[in-house]
Amino acid sequence: MNIAIAIVFLASLMLAVCVLYLGAVRSGYSQLRDTINELGESGAPNSKLVAYGVFLPFGLAMLVVAWLSYPENLDASRVAACLAVGYIGAAVFPCDPGSPLSGSWRQSLHNIAGTIHYFGGGVVLWQLRSVAPLFDISSLVVLVAAGLLSSSSVSAVRGGIQRVAEVALLGCLWAILILQEPSNSQF
């Protein structure tokens, strides 16, 4: 399990550094307003670099964590799988400019991957809420964030909301891997 913990740590660090750097060099991009996936939106500068150099490697890393965790740590495997679907989906189906709630067929598939990522990850954490207060609070944070991301009324802070959900999901994945005994999927 130490390998999975290291992968989550290194992949999360890579994601954070890349998002901060690529957001800083993109003209007009706001970490608070714009979502992470807008860095790789269709037609964006560096969209291929973001898709295949950031999103795909991160998604594949989470897929490896899901595989390494299964079946001994089903909870970690499920959270990692939800993250993998979201990031691989973002790489393969880049969002339309501005990542609208509806748009092209590609945007629709992107949104489906995002739904699995956030609602799926939130549901897994919800199932763990009786185990520790961390999961109770984090599940609510992720599920509320997922709902807010599905609303156009939060466009000024949508990127910030998404980042809070990402920190909650990745933090809980790390906690599950560190704290959970391999023989017991519910702690």
Q: What is the pTM of this model?
A: 0.93
Residues of the chain under the 70 pLDDT cut: 1, 181-187
pLDDT in the model for residue 152 = 82
134-157: pLDDT as tens digits:
899 999 999 999 999 988 889 899
Tens-digit pLDDT profile for residues 25-51: 999 999 999 999 999 999 999 999 999
Look at residue 181 in the predicted model and tell me its pLDDT.
Answer: 55
Per-residue pLDDT at 141: 97
CA angle 29, 83, 168 (to 5 degrees): 75
pLDDT of 1: 59
Distance CA 118, CA 32 (A): 18
The pLDDT value recorded for residue 185 is 47
